[in-house]
């Protein structure tokens, strides 16, 4: 009898809990009903087809506009599981508890919500959607574009057609994504439209597109690249002091592989495709310079924090050492991809400063005639 009463109490508590949840959700949906209902999937598909028609006129030789028109006409799904999924994500974050989360434990609860709801931002949440090419329209759209784009031929000595088509597609995909999710989430996405553009671009630049762009840059700057590679090999023997690096930062006096972590990190630029990923590699390579110096001096009581400030001249000199030792082929092409395909906002601040410094290193190495050239 007592056991039955205990079960009944648990059942009543469970029902009361779900009743509260349903009530909260109903209030939330009612509050945002107008915004949620302003979006019509079929009308939006017609609008997108009109946009694609204008892109067909702009790029008459391109395959992807027509392929995307076919995709629109054949897409019969309403994608409600994805679109309502984002509304539910926003609901959860709107009513997120202020109680701090407990420390992570080995033992865990099996909850009825998917793990994607635990991501820290709407951007990361949408990222979890973009691998579902079969039933998520934006994901299918990106896949169709890259598949069609990979089959196109482009001039060997002109990067502009590639830039124009990719940038126009990214803008189309961004507007499509805004309408796809629509309603209350549209405003949230618009506040992060730059980050969303970067995300779309990251998924758009396939290995083939990346290879095509780099090969085009290589053809455009063939003479400069030849001179750069010659000097990279010619001046491998140089030490930190030969670059005008001050003694405190001449790590080759202490280590055989000076600035090795920064050199290895910079080489990762060849392993990533998108401008934002390349920019992140350069930034991390810069951070590794500081880590390498810290490794030698942070426990030294005679060295002050002011001693370890790296000014702009020293940044250039150390970066030049790192670039020379990294021996990266077509490094100029990777930097050009950041400038030509990335957002202008990415080229500002400290991240942009590192890219400009890297570009200056490439140019100076190209112009070297002798060891003394580093100090001119």
Distance separating alpha carbons of residues 151 and 86, to the nearest angstrom: 34
Q: What sign for the dihedral angle of Cα 285, 291, 295, 298?
A: positive
Whether the per-residue pLDDT at 373 is higher than 50: the answer is: no
Whether the per-residue pLDDT at 228 is higher than 90: the answer is: yes
The DSSP secondary-structure symbol of 60 reads T
**Does 365 map to a domain?**
yes
For residues 11 and 253, the model is more confident at 253
Whether the per-residue pLDDT at 246 is higher than 70: the answer is: yes
For residues 287 and 28, the model is more confident at 287
Distance separating alpha carbons of residues 263 and 241, to the nearest angstrom: 17
Q: Which two tokens stand for residue 193?
A: 């439209």
**Does 101 map to a domain?**
no
Mean residue pLDDT of the chain comes to 81
Distance separating alpha carbons of residues 132 and 145, to the nearest angstrom: 15
Q: Which two tokens stand for residue 318?
A: 């150390």
The residue written with tokens 């390349």 in the block is: 278
The DSSP secondary-structure symbol of 102 reads P
What is the distance of C-alpha 65 from the center of its chain? Answer: 25
Same domain, yes or no, for 185 and 284? Answer: no
Q: For the segment 210-224, what is each residue's pLDDT rounded down to a tens digit? A: 999 999 999 999 999
Q: How far is CA 81 from CA 84, 137, 316, in A?
A: 6, 12, 51
Same domain, yes or no, for 227 and 181? Answer: no
A 10 A CB-CB count for 8 gives 10
Does this model's pTM top 0.85? My answer is no
Q: Which two tokens stand for residue 53?
A: 């028609």
Distance separating alpha carbons of residues 200 and 274, to the nearest angstrom: 10
Whether the per-residue pLDDT at 29 is higher than 70: the answer is: no
Same domain, yes or no, for 158 and 284? Answer: no
Same domain, yes or no, for 180 and 33? Answer: yes
Domain edge (last residue) among 212, 242, 257:
212
Q: Which residues span the domain enclosing 89?
A: 14-94+117-212
**Does 271 map to a domain?**
yes
Whether the per-residue pLDDT at 363 is higher than 70: the answer is: yes
Given this model, what pLDDT does residue 124 score? Answer: 80
Same domain, yes or no, for 208 and 227? Answer: no
Same domain, yes or no, for 79 and 203? Answer: yes
């Amino acid at each position: 009898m007592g056991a039955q009463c205990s079960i009944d109490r648990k059942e009543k508590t469970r029902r009361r809990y779900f009743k509260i949840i349903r009530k909260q959700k109903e209030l939330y949906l009612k509050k945002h009903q107008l915004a949620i209902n302003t979006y019509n999937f079929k009308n939006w598909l017609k609008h997108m087809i009109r946009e694609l028609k204008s892109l067909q006129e702009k790029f008459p030789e391109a395959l992807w506009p027509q392929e995307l028109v076919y995709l629109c006409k054949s897409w019969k799904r309403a994608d409600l599981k994805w679109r309502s999924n984002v509304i539910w994500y926003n609901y959860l974050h709107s009513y997120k508890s202020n109680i701090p989360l407990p420390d992570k434990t080995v033992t865990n609860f099996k909850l009825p919500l998917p793990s994607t709801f635990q991501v820290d931002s709407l951007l990361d949440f949408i990222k979890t959607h973009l691998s579902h090419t079969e039933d998520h329209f934006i994901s299918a759209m990106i896949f169709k574009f890259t598949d069609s784009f990979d089959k196109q031929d482009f001039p060997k000595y002109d990067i502009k057609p590639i830039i124009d088509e990719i940038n126009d597609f990214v803008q189309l995909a961004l507007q499509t994504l805004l309408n796809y999710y629509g309603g209350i989430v549209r405003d949230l996405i618009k506040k992060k439209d730059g980050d969303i553009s970067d995300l779309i671009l990251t998924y758009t630049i396939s290995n083939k597109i990346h290879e095509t762009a780099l090969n085009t840059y290589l053809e455009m700057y063939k003479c400069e690249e030849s001179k750069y590679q010659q000097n990279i090999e010619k001046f491998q023997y140089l030490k930190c002091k030969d670059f005008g690096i001050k003694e405190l930062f001449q790590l080759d006096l202490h280590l055989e592989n000076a600035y090795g972590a920064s050199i290895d990190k910079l080489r990762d630029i060849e392993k990533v495709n998108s401008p934002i990923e390349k920019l992140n590699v350069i930034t991390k390579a810069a951070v590794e310079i500081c880590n390498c110096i810290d490794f030698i001096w942070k426990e030294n009581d005679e060295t002050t924090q002011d001693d370890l400030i790296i000014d702009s001249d020293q940044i250039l000199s150390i970066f030049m050492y790192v670039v020379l030792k990294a021996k990266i082929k077509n490094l100029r092409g990777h930097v050009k991809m950041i400038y030509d395909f990335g957002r202008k906002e990415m080229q500002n601040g400290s991240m942009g400063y590192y890219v400009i410094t890297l570009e200056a290193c490439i140019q100076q190495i190209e112009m070297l005639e002798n060891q003394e050239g580093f100090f001119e």
